[in-house]
Every structure is written in C-alpha cells, then in structure tokens.
Amino acid sequence: MSVFAASPGRRVPKWLARHETLLAIILVAALAGLGAFNNRFLTVDNLLNQGRLMTEIGLIALPMTFVIITGGIDLSVGAIVGLSAVMLGYSWKTFGFPLPLAIAFALAVGGLAGFVNGFVITRVKVPPLIMTIATLALYRGLAEGVSQARSVRGYPEWFYGLGQGEWLGVPTQLLLLVVLIVIAGVALDRTTFGRTLYAIGSNETAARFSALDVDRTKVVIYTLSGLASGLAAVVLVSRVTTTRMDMGMGYELDVIAAVVLGGTSIFGGAGTIWGTVIGLVMIQLLKNGLALTGVKGDATIVVIGVALIMSTLIASSLQRRRE
C-alpha cells in the first residue's frame, strides 16, 4: 500500500518493534492468565507437548510469511499436506518404495505442487488467491482419487521417532522447527532474497524496475510453501501413525491466522518471522487454554476466526492512523 511504510528507513523497525512488543506483552499476560486458571497449563510437560502439536502449522507458517509479505497468499497448503501424506503412504505401500525414498517422494510432490502454483501465478498472471483456491480443490481431489479414501498404517517403528520421539527432552520436530525458524528469520532479514520480498510487497513495479527478479523470487517462495507443506505432512504422519486423505484440512486458516496475528500485513510489504512465531505460539496456547477450560475443539476455530478478523482490523486501522 504505502511505499514509505515498508522502506527500510527509520520508521519501520521502530514500528515493528512496537507491534511485536505489544504481542509479546499480550502473550505473557495470556500465559499468566491461563496458568492462574488451570494448574495443568504452566507445566513443562504441557508446554513441550504444545510445541509438538504446533510444529506442522509452524513449518508452513514460515514460507507463508514470505508469501504474504509479497502481497500474495497460498490457500492450497492444507491440500498439499493431504496430497503429500497420501503420496508418502501410497508410494511406500503400493509402489513398495523403501520408506526414506517415500519420504523424499512426498517432499518432492509437495515442492512440485508449490512450484506449479508459483509457475502459473507468474507466467499466466493468475491472481494467487484464485490460483490457490483452484489448486486447493485440485490437490485435495488428487489425494482423494489416488488414495480412494483408504488410509495407510503400519509404518516401521523408526519412522515414529520424528513425530513422537524427543532429543534431550525436547520433541524432535520442535527442534526441527526451531532450526528452520532461525534460517527463515536470517534469510528474511539479512539476505538479498529477503529484502526482495519486501520490495515486491510494497511496490512490485518499482521492484521490477530495480532489476529484481520478481518472477523467480515468487516461484521460489511458492515452491518453498509446497515443500514446507510436504515436510509438515511427513511430521504429521509420523506423529499420528496413519495416512489419511483428509489430513491438513483447514490448515490454511490456522497458518494465515498465525502469520496475520504476528503482524504481517495482508496487503504485503511488512512482516517478520519473529512476529509469526509469536502469532503461532499465541494460537496454540489459545487452543490449549480453551481445551483445558473445557471448551471443545470446534469452538476454538470460532476464536481463531475472530482473532484473524480482529487482528487484521486493528493492524489496518493502526496503519491508516499513521498515514
């Protein structure tokens, strides 16, 4: 929207810091509040378990932050999770792939699905929203067709280490998430690639005239989005021990809510990985806190929906006041 709001000048870092500080304060308050209400909440076991549960959403939220910073969106992530999970189970069970190869295959399918999104978005100039709504239907449909709605189970024991094991007392996949958070954060903040994303999001035409390879950057981030969804699928299958074609349904809501709650502008041009991480943690704690106070799972998606709309409203009214 505004060119000034995203230029790496003096105003932005200050504002971003404020936004994240605000979020962090709310987060601490929420932690204390939930802890006071329920003594099972603030225990190491519970918190580590929540970390395990939020990893799949978190893995996808990292590239989604990139995508939304460029002013795009990817609604097909949940469907890619389903497709990759099915491909993992199908190639292992039906093709007889050894499991490591099946895992690589599932990741490749996820990456390819994301690449197709990025390719059509940049070459044919289909708006990302429409492209990923179409592939949301297509990828979920392929998952359904290939699997014929049959589930796959009975994976070898070692495979469950990723989704259920721990290392030094920390869930394995949480360690994976932390490593990727650091990489994504550094890539966004400290590399040409990362700065290109902000340039595209604040003014795509200007970015093109500045000789930035806009199209290739976009293809890369949508491919990363698919790849992360494939990885999330592998982690998810390992955690729940079964492959089903409806895996990842509705993930797009959680992922986009985490990113937007974390202060990334839905209009593009602004956002940070650290904000996304806080948004992610807040959503998971919200789910957990509500569950512990006896609210059922279906009611929590109401809260996430409200959080998504409210955080966008507040962010955009703050932005308008500044202008």
Partner 1 sequence: MSAIPVPRLALPRAGIFRRFASQEALLALAVIGLAIAVGFVNPRFLAYRNLADILLGNAYIAIAAIGMSMVIISGNIDISVGALIGVLATVSGSLAVAGAPTLVAWIVPVVLGVLVMAAQGAVVAYLRIPAIVVTLGMMSILKGGLISVTGGKWITDLPQGFHLADLNLLGVPMPVAIMVVATALAALWMRYSASGRAIYATGGNAEAARLCGVNPQRTVVMVFALHGFFAGIATLVYATQLRVIQSTTPPGLELTVITAAVVGGVSILGGVGTVVGATLAAILIAEITSALVFVNISPYWTDSLRGGLILATVIADIVRRRRRASRGRRI
Interacting residues toward partner 1 by CB under 8 A: 73, 75, 120, 124-127, 129-131, 133-142, 144-145, 147-149, 250, 252-253, 256, 260, 266-267, 296, 298-302, 304-306, 308-309, 312-313, 316-317
CB 43 → partner 1: shortest distance, Å?
A: 27
- What span, in angstroms and rounded, lies between the C-alpha atoms of 55 and 237? 13
Phi-psi region of 320 (alpha: psi -120 to 50; beta: other; left: phi over 0): alpha
- Residue 2 DSSP one-character state: -
Residue 181 and residue 62 in contact, taking contact as beta carbons nearer than 8 Å: yes
- What span, in angstroms and rounded, lies between the C-alpha atoms of 142 and 83? 7
Residue closer to partner 1 by CB (options 29, 130) is: 130
CB 287 → partner 1: shortest distance, Å?
A: 12
CB 53 → partner 1: shortest distance, Å?
A: 18
Here the tokens at position 35 are: 């802890």
Residue closer to partner 1 by CB (options 206, 313) is: 313
Residue closer to partner 1 by CB (options 9, 305) is: 305
Residue closer to partner 1 by CB (options 3, 17) is: 3
CB 255 → partner 1: shortest distance, Å?
A: 11
Residue closer to partner 1 by CB (options 194, 262) is: 262
Residue 19 and residue 25 in contact, taking contact as beta carbons nearer than 8 Å: no
Residue closer to partner 1 by CB (options 161, 305) is: 305
CB 28 → partner 1: shortest distance, Å?
A: 25
CB 85 → partner 1: shortest distance, Å?
A: 16
Extract long-range pairs of 304-313: CB within 8 Å, 24+ residues apart: 304/253, 304/254, 304/257, 305/253, 305/257, 307/257, 307/261, 307/283, 308/253, 308/256, 308/257, 308/260, 308/261, 311/257, 311/260, 311/261, 312/260, 312/266
Residue 235 and residue 228 in contact, taking contact as beta carbons nearer than 8 Å: no
Residue closer to partner 1 by CB (options 86, 103) is: 86
CB 266 → partner 1: shortest distance, Å?
A: 6
